[in-house]
Structure 1
Amino acid sequence: MPQPLNMEKLGAAPKGRRAGRWPWAGRVTALDLDGDMLRVVQAVRRGGRARIVRYAASRIEGFDPAASPAERGRAVGETLRRLGVRARRVVLGIPRAQVMLRTLSLPPAEQPGEVAAMVHYQLARDLPFPAAEAIIDFTLQPVAGGPPTIEGESPALSEEGENALRVLAAVVKRELVRDYEELARAAGLKLAALGLRSHANVRCVELRRLEGGDRCVAMVSLRSDEVIFDVVLDGSLAFSRVGSVTLQAEPGDETGRRRMIADIVLEVVRGVHNYEGVEGHGAITRFFVAGCTGLEEELKEALRERFDVPAEVLDPVRLLGLKRIEGNGATGAQAAFGLALGALDPEGLPFDFLHPRRPPVRRDTRRLRVLAAATAGACLLFGLTVWRTVLVRRHQAVLAALQQELALANRNARAYRALSVQAATVRQWEQSRTPWLDHLALLSALLPPSPDLYVTSLSASGGNTLNLSVKVRTGEILNRIGDALREAGYEVKPSAITPVNDRYGYRFQAGLELAIPAGMSIDLARLEVPERPADDVSGSAELALETPVNEGTPAPAAASDSHAANSSPGAREVAGQTSPPPGTREKRNRFPGDGSAGNPTSRRYIEVKPSYRVVEPTPIGRSRGQDYREARRNGVPRVKPAPAGGSERRRFSLPENWSRLSPEERRALIERFRQQRERSRSAVSGQRKGGGR
């Protein structure tokens, strides 16, 4: 069937609308439901032409037209299996009674898709149901003066004298399309296209190959429950009307047959009158009758007599050159043949309610700008996220390094805190400017001797305060101490006196808080220090060094006469001797006035035994550890155990003026002692070697 020009500009249609792009690629199965009769036609496209490969018809057992689409679909599928028809994708046609047709006259279109937009706009105002529930498709119709175009070629003059387009539009409900899809799905089929049954009839008229004078012909299709009157003008459907006539008569009932023929002719007359009211109609020059009701021959004669024009029965099997199979109802399968041939046309079905022409979606530039801005924002956000990730990773690496350093520093945190506390103590000591050592010397002079008073603790605070905890034998001693401290300038705040049972004879325990007033001065030269007991060995120090000495080897001379040895756990006294006994050395008291100075008959001797101890007398204000560390810093060697074999310990005694010696003098003194020790060791070693030989 020739199609109008510029069909591609009528509106946006899906790819499946054209046969060349359909999934079956040149093979189609068309189904036509006429009551309980199912007609099937299968066609293929070979060599650029459509060929019918099979056709069949059969009654559907147990078919109920009022049943649901799923039930009808299962019945159709069972019938197809009984016929041996294998099909996956099918084409169906909607009856004319379920479609609303409208002929429209539209102005020429300038842009593609404008015709579809105008058709949807005009029909939306006249629909008896909401436009959202409607599916609209259309096709162009030829007009006087040539085929229609949308660019003004071969213009047609309408009643208004303007260039116009004639459009035949068809409207169905969306719910009806869904029912046909459900029917095909229940039958195990895939609905590929949904056409108009009246337009399928028009496709069969083209098989007749009409002469040039037959521009406008009419076709009357007889079905079980309706009569369809279609008008074909210049090869295109121009008008269609359906009439409700029940074509059922008892066999041999001539009266009933004549009455049905009269009713059909009456419906045809009404259709002709309605068509004559259409703008641009043509004169009908021929009638075609199609169907398989048995009334086709009688109706042909009745139409020839009524309209005085040629009439004939349309037999698609004869026109296509197919082998006739009697009793298969092929004579009334014009709709199935038309659907199969139309689906294989290059342009596809003129009406396809499964893929209708739609107005092109208008591009909303504002929306596009918003989307572009959103895309740019998303890209920017993505870039910022990536950059943030890079920065976070860099900072995490720095954080990991700092945490590692912090972990290493935390290991020494205790030493750092101790050092900080010591530094704070030193700063506080410097800032207070209090002569604590002078006060300590003053307290040593003011407090009574240890048989009467024993100091258990002494502490100083930052507020120029001294706190003493003492044990005394009597309360009178505690009163005298308070008076003496007040006379010296202290502000005494005595605390509670607690009786104690001390094994050394101290009966009371008390605390004294001495506040040092500002401007208090101490004259150390005027202090009277009590004499020390006779058995006090403070003030001297002896360092025991390993020196193997043979009998008769003289010991090194002492640094001074005032340097003497201290009493040790291994010492014993020997009186009345003028020379030291074997294994001992002389020890003199360093304190004058004790009766031993200048008296050669009163001497004490110390027995020398191997020992690692550093015996250091502790003077006032100085500890033994301080003297020992000072000796180590000045190069005094560490004591090592004497080897077995008669070696003897020789002591190196620190002189009284050790603290006043310069470092060079100290090193010279120690070096002289080391040389003497080496000479002694060499002599002993030589004697051992000679005796061995």
Structure 2
Amino acid sequence: MARMLALDWTRNEARYVLANSSGEKLTIEASGAISLSELADADFASAEKFGEAIRTGLSSAKVGRATTLLGMSREQVELLNFSVPAVPPTELPEIVLNLAMRESPTVTEESVVDFVSSPDGEDETAEVTAAAVTAEKFRWIQQACTTAKLAPQKIVLRPYATAALLPAGNAQRSLLVNRVGEDVDLTVVDAGHVVFSRSVRVPAQDNNEATTSRLMQEIRRTMMVAPHGSGNRGVEAVYLLGREEEHAELLAVIRREFASDRPGGADDHTSDVDVSAFDVFASLGVDHEAIPKNSGSYAALLGMLRTEADGGTHPFDFLNPRKPPKPPDRKRIMMLVGGLALVAAVVFAYPLYEEYQDNQATIDGLMSEIKEAKASEKTIKKQAAIAATLSKWESGGVNWLNELQTFSTRFPPPRDAMVLRMALSSSRGGIITFNGLARDPAVVTRMELDLRDDTHDIQTPRVQERVQENGYTWQFETKVSMTPPKAASKESEKSAEKSSGKEEKTKSDEKKSSAADKKPTSKSKTAKKTAPAKKTPSDETEDETTQSSKKPAEDSKDKPSTDKQPAEKGGAK
């Protein structure tokens, strides 16, 4: 017979259930509540003061050596939902941890992360729900348990433990409403699996009608935002955990609101919903006389005990989270390999000994050369890598200081958005990739408009809503691609055309001047051929007159070729 203690707490109260299990039979020994309202906020934050209060409250229960199970509330953990590719189960823990650190800035390598995956994925993917507890919070729990003289074996998530109380054959898509102190856990369960969970705080008020109205609003909101099942199935049943008389007023309001004949007609998703109370103690066969006050608040504790008694596995166990399998014992493998090598050496060493001696000198020489070559290769590769990196970076032509200044000036103010990670790349003109959080999708749209211009192209492939306490409820991933201005490329084309035009014009002028120089030579040869003819004085006078008239003409022919060149060059310009 195993003895078990289940314990959870809220700000003003801690609850416990002590039970015995024999096979699948569960017997409740004691249950009760420990008041924590006398602890000041500073004392409640102290693990020692909190643990001392728990130890004092459990002193009358005589816990002894019992298997201790702790339940954590939804507000003490961070839930993350994402899709992962279909991979072997041994690789999934590492992938989930990396995705959780990427999705949430509060999750680090020291955080305790456990997860559950959907029973069957679609399109070769699996839907994963991860729960993360910060390292500081986990150390606080361990210190409090040490002070309370408790050694917990399991630390589970309270809303998921509650789902274990539903009968195994329950095929309805059910909403469990569990009020625990000022916290209300709303959990949607389908075929024994939790598909959606949220917790809200509803402080107690003097006006019960106001409290009931607030609870009704939260129930409707949960039914609206919870994902639908196959065949577009919404919530088909609502269970208020506890006895009928504990929720009489709320049950009447829900039934009246969901009734099909209420004024204005019922909504499509509530017209056929069954509403009832679920007596958690009666489901385990406990007599009504032994049921404590506010019995619904003990539902998670009973669910932990029920799962443990049945030998089941808790969806989340932060004391024993899912981890990658340990690598094989390399020391043992090396010892085995070494033993085999030793046997082989004993068998074959003697015949090969002489050959080994002959070849040893050659091997030593070759090894020395190889060592020198590797040293040179390492130096060359290092220098080549540096040169390639510098060349690649310079080829981008991006002034990153100016780009970052422009980015900081145009980015939305801190109250609207924040950047989590940023990466810079000089490839393809320059790329800036960053992930961030925003208060509203409109902030992301405005950011794109502010950052986009002729040289910056903005793409935001993913904008996803998420729940976070600091108000940044949207996560986005944006890529900024930088391109050189078009004007620069046009100027380079014009300068290239000008230079080519000048070269062609210079070649044309050189050809003209060389042609002009050749003409007087041909005339002189003609004159020499006709020289033997005898001239009269009148003819000589005519020749002188003719030569004087030809000379200015020839001078005028030469001058345009030299004067025209600057004019043509100016035209090209």
Structure 2 letter corresponding to 1:37: E
Which residue does the alignment assign to 2:313?
348
Structure 1 residue corresponding to 2:187, chosen from 213, 220, 230: 230
> Residue 292 and residue 227 in structure 1: after superposition, are their counterparts in 2 closer, same or farther (change >3 A)?
farther
Matching residue of 1:59: 34
Q: Letter of the aligned partner of 2:205 in structure 1?
A: A
Against the structure 1 CA distance between its residues 342 and 331, is the aligned structure 2 distance closer, same or farther, given a 3 Å change threshold? Answer: same
1:125 aligned to which of 102, 108, 115: 102
Counterpart among 269, 286, 290 of residue 322 in structure 1: 286
Q: Match for residue 164 of structure 1?
A: 125
Distance 1:112 1:141 in 2: 13
- Give SS of 2:226's match: helix
- Match for residue 216 of structure 2? 265
Q: How many residues were matched structurally?
A: 324
Asked if the contact 1:104/1:168 (under 8 Å) is kept, the reply is: yes
- Say whether the 8 Å CA contact 2:174–2:236 is kept in structure 1: yes
* Residues 39 and 129 of structure 1, relative CA distance in 2, 3 Å threshold: closer
CA distance in 2, matches of 1:72, 1:53: 26
Maintained 8 Å contact 2:280/2:299: yes
The question of 1:27 aligning with 2:37 is answered no
List gaps (5 residues or longer) in structure 1.
1-24, 143-147, 149-155, 251-255, 381-693
- 2:159 is equivalent to residue 198 of structure 1: yes
Change (3 A) 1:93 1:223: same
- 1:363-378 aligned at under 5 Å gives the runs 368=330, 372=334
Match of 1:219 among 160, 176, 184: 176
Alignment of 1:404-415 (within 5 A): none
Q: Is the 8 A contact 1:73 1:185 kept in 2?
A: yes
8 Å Cα contact 1:200-1:335 kept in structure 2: yes
1:46-77 alpha-carbon deviations (Å, 9 max, x no partner): 2x314133231133364446341111111111
Name the SS of the counterpart of 2:282 in structure 1.
helix
Once the two structures are superposed, residues 225-267 of structure 1 have per-residue CA deviations (whole angstroms, 9 ceiling, x without a partner) of 2221100011011110111211x233xxxxx211111111111
Contact 1:27 1:42 (C-alpha < 8 Å) held by counterparts: yes
Residues 1:249 and 2:219 are matched in the alignment = no
Q: What residue number does 1:484 align with? A: none
Aligned residue runs from structure 1 range 237-316, under 5 A = 237-246=194-203, 248-250=204-206, 256-276=207-227, 282-290=233-241, 296-306=247-257, 307-308=270-271, 309-316=273-280
Structure-1 separation of matches of 2:188 and 2:202: 19
Q: Show CA shifts across 1:83-120 (max 9, x none).
A: 344345411111011222233333323x3412223222
2:148 to 177, 182, 187: 187
CA–CA distance in structure 1, aligned partners of residues 243 and 146 of structure 2: 29
Which residue number corresponds to residue 477 of structure 2? Answer: none
Q: Residue 6 of structure 2 contacts residue 16 of structure 2 at CA under 8 Å; is this kept in 1?
A: yes
1:210–1:126: structure 2 CA closer, same or farther, 3 Å change rule?
A: same
Q: Which amino acid aligns with 2:313?
A: G
Q: Per residue, is there more helix in 1 or in 2?
A: 2
**Alignment partner of 1:237: what SS?**
strand
C-alpha displacement of 1:295:
6.0
User: What is residue 20 of structure 2 aligned with on the other side?
Assistant: 44
Q: Distance in 1 between matches of 2:126 and 2:208?
A: 44
Change in Cα spacing, 1:75 to 1:305, as seen in structure 2 (3 Å) is same
CA contact (8 A) 2:114 2:318 kept: yes
Give the letter for the 1:316 counterpart.
V
* Contact 1:28–1:42 (Cα < 8 Å) also in 2: yes
Q: C-alpha displacement at 1:335, in angstroms?
A: 1.2
Q: How does 1:575-594 map to 2 (within 5 A)?
A: none
Match status 1:71 vs 2:49: yes
User: Alpha carbons of 1:121 and 1:278: their partners in 2 closer, same or farther (altered >3 Å)?
Assistant: farther
SS of 2:32 mapped into structure 1: strand
Cα distance in 2, alignment partners of residues 273 and 328 from structure 1: 31
3-state SS in 2 of match to 1:132: coil
* Conservation of the 8 A alpha-carbon contact between 2:67 and 2:153: yes
- Counterpart-to-counterpart distance in 2, 1:179 and 1:281: 43
- Aligned partners of 1:55, 1:39: CA distance in 2, in Å? 11
* 1:291–1:222 distance in 2 versus 1, CA, 3 Å: farther
Per the TM alignment, residue 346 of structure 1 is displaced from its structure 2 partner at its CA by: 2.4
Instruction: Tell me the CA shift for residue 198 of structure 1.
Output: 0.5
1:92 aligns with 2:49: no
| 1:347-496 map, 5 Å | 347-361=312-326, 368=330, 372=334
Whole-angstrom distance in 2 between the partners of 1:288 and 1:138: 26
Give the gaps of 5 or more residues in structure 2. Answer: 258-269, 343-573
1:220 and 1:293 mapped to 2: Cα distance? 13
Partners of 2:276 and 2:7 in 1: CA distance: 25
Match of 1:103 in 2: 81
Residue 37 (structure 1) shift: 2.9
Counterpart secondary structure, 1:352: coil
- The residue type paired with residue 93 of structure 1 is G
In structure 1, give the amino acid aligned to 2:285: G
Say if 1:107 and 1:327 are closer, same or farther in 2 by CA, change over 3 A.
closer
Match in the other structure for 1:421: none
Please name the residue that 2:298 is paired with: 333
Encode CA deviations 1:532-558: one digit per residue, 9 max, x unaligned: xxxxxxxxxxxxxxxxxxxxxxxxxxx
C-alpha separation between the residues in 1 aligned to 2:110 and 2:11? 26
SS at match of 1:125: helix
Q: Deviations along 1:425-468, whole A, 9 cap, x unmatched?
A: xxxxxxxxxxxxxxxxxxxxxxxxxxxxxxxxxxxxxxxxxxxx
Query: Aligned with 1:129: secondary structure?
Result: coil
Q: Which amino acid aligns with 1:43?
A: A
